[in-house]
Amino acid sequence: MVTATNLGFGRIGIKRQLKFLVEKYWNGKVTYDELIEGSKNLRAAHWTAQKEAGIADGHIPSNDFSYYDHVLDNSFMIGAIPERYQKLDIVPVERYFAMARGYQRDDIDVQAMEMKKWYDTNYHFIVPELVENQEFKLAYKVKAVDEFLEAKELGIKTRPVLQGPITYLLQAKVKGVDASFNNLTHFVPRIIPVYVEILKRLADAGAEWIQFDESYLVMDIVNEKYTKEIIQNAYQTVYKAFKEAVPSLKFLIATYFDKVDSNIEFVEAIANEIDGLHIDLVRAPQQLQPVVEKVKSFSKKIVLSVGVIDGRNIWKTDLSKAIKTVQVAIDALGSENVFVAPSCSLLHVPHTLSTEENIKNNSPEVYDWLSFAVEKLDEISTVAKAVNGENVSEKLEANQKSINNRSTSPLIHKPEVKEAVKNVTPEMLTRGTPFAERIVAQQKILNLPKFPTTTIGSYPQSKEVRLTRQKFRKGEITKEEYDQFIKDETLRCIKKQEEYGLDVIVHGEFERTDMVEFFGEKMEGYIFSQFGWVQSYGSRCVKPPILYGDIVRPQPMTVEMIKYAQTCTEKPVKGMLTGPVTILQWSFVRDDQPRSTTAYQLALAIRKEVKDLEEAGIKVIQVDEAALREGLPLRKADQDNYLQWAIDTFLLATCCVKPTTQVHTHMCYSDFNDIFTSIKRMDTDAITIENSRSDLKLLNAFKQYGYTNGIGPGMYDIHSPRVPSYEEILERARETLKYIDSELLWINPDCGLKTRGWAEVEPSLKNLVQVAVTLRKEN
Ligand code: MET
Ligand SMILES: [Zn+2]
């Protein structure tokens, strides 16, 4: 019998209950007990949904829940708590949140830990931070065990999910060591005992299968420092120790988001210690044959968990195809050695389609093509039933109908859009004039001081803004009233910026709920869910719009607003657009054509908008490519191809303006070293980057590769509520000047301010501008 399994489930709840609960706790509006109680209810609901959908007992994940992030949970559970948080005289839950968000009270001021994107998703994890003589010790409450017992009490047997130790260690950064420091050799012996303790307790509690997320196995992990021998040794040491200590447990090694490829050697090296391997066959279907062959050749029989249901997208699975894939594994390994699974944790898709009344009523055809997490659970169980010989023919027929309908629907295909993409020429992808000439021409018009100051775009989406929008949506106020409110907010925001002394002004983005949804709503080819939330970081969720068809921009999207904003000030106002690669990356997109084709369609729409803004007299236009880096394929061999079309996409969107129009972009990430030549090829007049939670050394790349255009590395972290002091920003700016030419440096925060309150924004920006004033005197 093939088993229906799951790798992980979202934690926020259908209506983002967890978000509101956690935020209320932060604001002192609910107690710790209420936080615990509320979370418990959510977990119970999620486990029950999985059980009811037919996920097998023992294969419903637990410990996939988190108040903030599951990697942070792991650090907390094994005592990898940096000293600056240990020192704080606060209760554990406060310490946990201090690690995630920083801590500021009275005269205590501690920064948050570094946050990074989880592989190529828009989920962010908290990077483990270790020291050379790190000691690992079990927390007083062991979350993985507590959650297992909690589910058990509900009559549900779960499969606890743990961060695979090797992956955990490779993801960690170590303070105060040089580049030759080897995380594996150094920490493996130290980390084993604490994991063994957890495993023992899980075994005592009655666990059978343990899922180790060894996601690093899909990366190019072997290099000079981490040689094959070192990695293999680490895997063997760890899993041998685990098996010896708790022989009763079964271990599933889970990989996802890409192919395992040659790293299968490391799995082979521990084949006797483990009991199963999960592979992603949606992202990397080509790995089925080679992995099956390899697993078959292992001396011990292990289970292959085949990820055939897309955990990263919202389309119905073609069940007949999935069944064929599963059958290949069954034929080679026997049905008792096959699990049916989603490609990765369902954390990355929204909860359920069943609450999506709007799509159902307004776009019934598209509704029929969709499948969210709960519906995917049903797909998993249907596939398992089908291969187990149960009669599910009705479901399969209905599925085939939806699949066929989608592939031929005229809703999707617009000949004129396909034609426009075909007609793109190389001339459309270049500014024509070099930066050195452009900047002179631009300065004649803009006349900016040295170290120009600006912000990334959004300003606080205050309660009032959100409430007024809600009122408008409910029809409680008229469109005129709403528009007037937004205009007033914009005017006030611009006056504030003038007061702070910022040089390049933004309108504040009050009319936008989300930087992608806003544009999606104005283009044809998109639909929107009501509750399609997925977690981005901590309590922050995003609701990716659904791009289902060829893209058309019927009319200007931002021009009226920006024109109005420019009438409010003498200073230049930046036109603010979301870039095509980011729109692509942060939407659920079609899986029926290459991503590059969809990207080009989006680029042509944005290009029209850029042109219209210029014609409306806007002198500075920012096209945000916040997510360009996160779309980078995990495997090096695939990266060049992506970067080629992604940068072309950006160029297509922006290279339609006169040399005098200043083009900015903004990117959110810190690891830009590996895409440096591509950043250069974007040839923007200024780029602002999120850099403040990471090491300044990263900026070395800009020096090393001779970056010649304007650049604004974030001077402080906007993801944390703490207010950076003048001294702190000044020090950061001075450090930055060691790497960046003073003629090129912009002074700005590291991202948009919409998640912050004015009480934080005001002092922060005043300090920021003061720093620019000081720098102008010093340089
Ligand atoms: C996530 S990047 C955000 C860019 C956008 N312009 C903003 O300021 O919010
Ligand atoms: Zn950003």
626 CB less than 6 Å from ligand 1? Answer: yes
Instruction: Measure the CA–CA gap between 277 and 7, rounded to whole angstroms.
Output: 12
Instruction: Answer yes or no: is 344 a known binding residue.
Output: no
Nearest CA to ligand 1 atom 9: 752
DSSP state of 635: S
pLDDT at position 672 is 74
Q: Look at residue 705 in the predicted model and tell me its pLDDT.
A: 82
Low-confidence spans in the chain with pLDDT less than 50: none
CB atoms within 10 A of CB 225: 13
**Best of 504, 751, 755 to mutate for ligand 1, by most ligand atoms within 8 A of CB?**
751
Cα-based distances in Å from 756 to 22, 465, 477, 699, 723: 16, 13, 26, 26, 10
Query: How close is the Cα of 457 to the center of ligand 2, in Å?
Result: 9
* pLDDT tens-place string over residues 412-423: 989 999 999 999
pLDDT of residue 694: 65
Does residue 577's CB lie within 6 angstroms of at least one atom of ligand 1?
Answer: no
Residue 627 CB less than 6 A away from ligand 1: no
Spacing, Cα 590 to ligand 2 middle (Å): 25
| Helix (H), strand (E) at residue 238 | helix 228-245
Question: What is the Rg, in whole angstroms, of the alpha carbon atoms belonging to the chain?
Answer: 26
Cα–Cα distance measured from residue 624 to residue 576, given in angstroms and rounded to the nearest whole number: 8
- Sheet containing 686-689: order of strands: 574-578, 620-624, 662-667, 686-689, 710-713
Answer yes or no: is the C-beta of 624 below 6 A from any ligand 1 atom.
Answer: yes
Is 422-513+553-778 the same fold as 3-81+114-408? yes
Question: CB count, 10 Å around CB of 338?
Answer: 27
- Residue 124, φ and ψ in degrees, nearest 5: -115, 140
pLDDT digits (tens, 9 = 90+) for 253-307: 999 999 999 999 999 999 999 999 999 999 999 999 999 999 999 999 999 999 9
Residue whose CA is closest, atom 7 of ligand 1?
752
| Dist. CA 547–CA 517, nearest whole Å | 10
Tokens standing for 740? 């960046």
Question: Which ligand ends up closest to the CA of 542?
Answer: 1
Q: Is 507 a catalytic residue?
A: no
What's the 581 CA to ligand 1 centre distance in angstroms? 14
Tell me the best of 512, 582, 666, 719 to mutate to test the pocket of ligand 1, counting ligand atoms within 8 Å of each CB and taking the most. Answer: 666
Instruction: Name, in order, each residue with C-beta under 8 angstroms of 213's C-beta and a sequence gap of 6 or more.
Output: 161, 162, 163, 164, 167, 254
pLDDT at 26: 97
751 lines ligand 1 (CB under 6 A): yes
Determine whether the annotation assigns residue 19 to a binding site: yes
Give the pLDDT of residue 703.
84
Phi-psi region of 706 (alpha: psi -120 to 50; beta: other; left: phi over 0): left
Question: In this structure, is the dihedral angle defined by the CA atoms of residues 632, 638, 640 and 646, taken in order, positive or negative?
Answer: negative
Atom of ligand 1 nearest to the CA of 576: 6
Domain boundaries, the chain: 3-81+114-408, 422-513+553-778
40 annotated binding-site participant: no
Burial of 490 (0-12, 13-18, 19+ CB in 10 A): buried
According to CATH, the topology of domain 3-81+114-408 is TIM Barrel (3.20.20)
512 labeled binding residue: no
Give the pair of three-digit tokens for residue 489: 């907010």
Helix (H, G, I), strand (E, B) or coil at 514: coil
Q: How far apart are CA 333 and CA 331, in angstroms?
A: 6
Token readout for 35 is: 């936080």
The one-character DSSP state at 500 is H
pLDDT of residue 674: 78
Query: Does 3 sit in the ligand 1 pocket, CB within 6 Å?
Result: no
Q: What is the DSSP code string of 268-322?
A: HHTTTT-SEEEEETTT-GGGHHHHHHHHHHSSS--EEEEEEE-SS--BPP-HHHH
User: Which CATH architecture fits 422-513+553-778?
Assistant: Alpha-Beta Barrel (3.20)
